[in-house]
Structure 1
Amino acid sequence: MNVDTECDFGTLPVVAWVRVLEHLPLKDRYHASLVCSKVFEAFSHPSLWRSVTLTVEGGSGKFRSLHMVNIPQRNFHLVQKFGRMFHHITFSVSAPLDKSFGEWNTVLADNIKRFNASSLTFDVGGLKNIAKGGVMRTLTENIKPMVDLVRNSLYLKSLVIKSWPTFASSLNKADENVFQAAMDNDKIKNLTKLSIFDCVSVAWSERRPLLLPVDLTHKMVEHFKSLTHLALRSPMLSEDLIRCLSCGDRQRLQQLKISINYLPQNESFEIPQMRDSVWRDFTNHNTKVRVHVLVLSRVPHHSMEMFLRPSCPLYNIRFGEFVRCDKEFVAYLANTFTSSLETFEYYEEDGDFEQELISLVECSSQLCRLVYCGKISIKHVIHLAELRGAEWQVLHLARKNIYTVPKNANEPEIDGDTVIAKNSSGEYVLVNMLKFHEQTSITSNGKEEQNMIDRVSQKLGRKWFPDSDM
């Protein structure tokens, strides 16, 4: 039987080409659409335009000024031709600007009523400029079209504000206050997802971001009673807001995400204290809610303990890349959230609380996802695998921080902030050098490393390796 090796891709149905184009970036998708009429037909399929990101690039770097504005020409064509198909729209501004967007503002204003967006995301913190005297401000004509889009939306169910120029002057202007615009639109009163300045990445974040005032945050949460997903930063929280989420006339919340911003000796960035009874009422009303916490800066353990009280349904806690965690707080987690905690992620390499980590896993019966970049011995790695076995969904440990020689139990513990300490001979040495000589990385002992990999893989029931990229 002769097999014809030639293939006429033009005979493929449109739905097949739609699937292919879904995996291409916009530029390549456009070039592919010029090949034949069948691909061009697929290029215009509504499903390809449900999600779109519209970007504006501003001045940044040594060779660009605040007066440079780059708006990709494709943005104009996309909005004018496919705007009615947009369901999930993201607006992104990459850098500070000091110039009107001109025609782009006109195009947005003319097409607002064509959008049928069910989800809007704004990452436009770059819409900030330095006026005379160093005062920060925004250009109203640049921000007004996006505010009007929220004010005139008909089907919006999700509003995500990753960044927004929240200067006092902006919040006092109706054409710049997207938060008030959302509350003024009765058509979106049944909003189900609200995210304000939520931080997703564990990488570095601003230490002193401009956030929404507590009273305005409370007003928004109180207004949108159908919320099932809410994400906020800790300085925007209060006991009154948690009580508001516990009211019987509200939809039951499914997820509460909190990004912890803390600055010592700064009242605006203190961790709010919560009474256990407030969390208990919150949990009694929102019976299936899960609280996710991302810690963006080092926080005294007693402040965290006064915030995350025993009745808080803590499900997931993550610490940023450069954020240390006190071993006392890990011990508190182990003793407090034994039945709710499922995820613990720690990305700081200088972590040194492996014994407390073992206790956390032993006590937390639901813990099945662990990411830990700190120091840990081979013995404890194997013990972690034995504690959960095949129940581990995620077990990521930094290869370079797994050591083979356990620390001398007779030597005193060294605080994480200590720079100089005595070694076993009574000599004063740098702490980092002392730790280096105490432990030997598995990277220098291939036999022990392979033995560990084999034993952990056996316990997990699948092939496992320590993470070399962490």
Structure 2
Amino acid sequence: MASSETGSTHYQGEGDDTEGPDFSCLPDVVWVKVLQLLDVTDRYHVSLTCSRLHAHFGHPSGWSHATLDLSVSYDGELEKYSDLSVLQHKHSVLQYVKVDIQKLRLPLQVMSPEEISTLLELPLSKNLKSLKINLNFDIIELKRVIENNDTAHLSSASVLNELCDRAPEKLLVELVLIDLAISDFSSENAPCEVFDSLGPKTWYQRVTSLSFPHGSLSEETQFSLYPQLTSSPTAVLVSRFLSLRCLSLSVVNLSDQLLYQLADMSRSHCSLRSFTIHFRLCCNRSFTQEIHSDLVELSSSAWGGLVSVCSNLEVSCFLGEAVTLKELCSVVRPEAPVVSVQFLYRVDKGIEAFVPFCLQHSQTLQRFTYNECLTSVIKVRCQRRADRGGSLVSMVTECPRLRHLVYIGEIHNEDVVKLAELNRQWTTFVFQDKLFLLDARDKLYSPGCRGDLSPAVRAAQKATLIRMCDHVSRHLGYPWKPRDS
């Protein structure tokens, strides 16, 4: 664990006690940006745990804008963080609750009864605006647990009710249902029957945002079982949340029919005015051919129908290796209000191919993520850096609403500086050169990977982080120097 006396960070890999850079000297204005850099660079070892945050930053005045995230994810899967037991140290958590954290995220499905008990003893801040709860519900298993009256496994459901009962009235509660195996049921009411067995339904009235991440819910089986989405288990379950404002769905194939049905769902749910559609193309190689054969061109009227009933429609594109620009543009038309794009692509393709698509949605695009580090073996091509940097600069120049920029790949420092200066209102500004992520075997460790890394790779990551922080903070007008550099 990090030491609050020294202000230094210790990475806690197995058998590893490598000291990282000291960020305690950073001014309050820029510490959030560095925290985001830390999170992307080594999410497993430097996650947002309470005691480490105190070591990094003390009690900065900007803390009220932060998120206390007691969960950690790898490739979209929520897993137990090695230091989640930090909740047992109540004084550490209370230090940050007292300074009015505005967002709190909790992975209830991986918490022990002791941790849940500790959590319920915490006074929720009056200024807490967002409570995000991740629940990993395998609904078949949950039904068995309820039938057998296995109270030990129902702690997540009971704590959810208690939290909603005690939470401030205006608190926005987001519920994330992971791996909800709805497609196994023959009746659209079956999932609700299981949820109804969990006890008091306070959380039905309190949840304002509901997310179904990519998993069993988004597979084709549900839409084949229930052609009309408005009568599917999804819609029936959604209808129970009377205060629901935002709905986030992950779909494999996007069609006119689905867009029309989403519009119908919104009309029948008077409070629902915000949709986020996570549109994943070819994220699973085994489905590549099937998905490609089903690609259809979405009509303007289908988008228009959904936009007309939703005050806020977001389309998030998550693109795998097999997607071509032609296929992308044939599915996501210019009239779709794309606000978030994530590109995970092979090195030899390059970012240049996707700049036209981003420019096509330049007036709505707010978040852009590009990661070349998720391929198994990297061949460094330094000669392409200038072209990529220039393409990215031209794209950012034309996207006035862009506030979130993450680029994991080859790029010159000078281009990073140019991008920092283009927009003084970045909420996320992250760059990392994959050149510094290779070990002696030429095997890639992507940001957020688990396992021990060689000392050489650790040192390179540390040097990269210092270099990035220096360029970003110095050219934004906040000079600093790490104590151990």
Q: What is the TM-score with the length of structure 1 in the denominator?
A: 0.50
Q: Compare CA radii of gyration and give the structure with the larger one.
A: 1
Q: TM-score, normalised by structure 2?
A: 0.48
